Amino acid sequence: MTKVNYDQAVPLYEHGLTAAEIGDIFGASGGAVGVGLRRRGVAMRPTSYPSFNIDEAARLYEQGKNLFELQDIFKVAHQNIYVQLKKMGVRFRGIPKGEDSSMYRGGSRADRTVVSKVAHAIRRGELVRPDVCSECDDSGTFKDGKSKVEAHHDDYNYPLAVRWLCRKCHHNWHRNNKAILQEESTDEPI
């Protein structure tokens, strides 16, 4: 793992680069760079979110649209829509948790382990994220710069055996199929 050189990172941040951009330079996550900068007393800029019609998003959410549908409408990652709606005081509907969720992967520890292994493999060049979804050929990024294409696992025991799906296809797959969780596999993990 690459160590961030904060003698270089601090001036880069002060000259306008984001923590995520600095992370890309040093092969680290933007969150880790942000923590390192704060520990060194750097005054952090407020996080900015891409603009979209938040009032319209709130209205549509209250009419029954979910965050993933809003993501497709406004072309902004659902996490950013969630943050903005939360700031507005929108009361969120309950979402399925744990094994009741279509995106359940075996618990937060198992999920973080697999996501971490994929992220590290991408940084090391062992995995390359393609530009298009393998199911529908959707491509590109959201307004906030996040790729529409993400890693999907049919079997979480093989963290580097991924298919590349857009978020819509990824969530649809998990709604209609059950991935093999780490404790379910009879094969030896790689």
Q: Which of 176, 175, 180, 179 is nearest to 66 (CA)?
A: 175
Which pLDDT does position 71 carry in this prediction?
Answer: 85
- Mean predicted confidence (pLDDT) in 43-49: 76
- Where along the chain do its domains lie? 6-39, 54-88, 99-184
Q: How high is the mean pLDDT of the chain?
A: 81
For residue range 142-155, what is the model confidence (pLDDT) as tens digits?
A: 766 778 898 998 88
180 is written with which tokens?
A: 């093999």
For residue range 155-165, what is the model confidence (pLDDT) as tens digits?
A: 888 889 999 99
For residue range 69-123, what is the model confidence (pLDDT) as tens digits?
A: 898 888 887 878 888 899 899 988 766 555 655 555 555 455 567 778 888 888 8
User: Cα dist. 151→43, 88, 121, 127 in Å?
Assistant: 34, 32, 11, 10
Q: Which of 68, 67, 57 is nearest to 170 (CA)?
A: 68
Residue type, 7: D
Q: Which of 19, 21, 82 is nearest to 45 (CA)?
A: 19
Give the torsion sign (CA, 150, 155, 160, 163): negative
**Residue 139 reports pLDDT greater than 80:** yes
**Residue found by looking up tokens 């309950």 in the block:** 94
Which pLDDT does position 92 carry in this prediction?
Answer: 86
Which pLDDT does position 185 carry in this prediction?
Answer: 46
Name the β-bridge partners of 139: 132
Which pLDDT does position 106 carry in this prediction?
Answer: 55
- Mean predicted confidence (pLDDT) in 128-150: 85
Which pLDDT does position 164 carry in this prediction?
Answer: 94
Q: Which of 10, 78, 28, 70 is nearest to 49 (CA)?
A: 78
Compute how many other C-beta atoms are within 10 angstroms of the C-beta atom of residue 180.
16
The pTM of this model reads: 0.46
Number of residues in the chain: 190
Q: 95 near 106, Cβ under 8 Å? A: no
Rounded Cα distance between 68 and 77, Å, is 8
**Residue 1 reports pLDDT greater than 50:** no
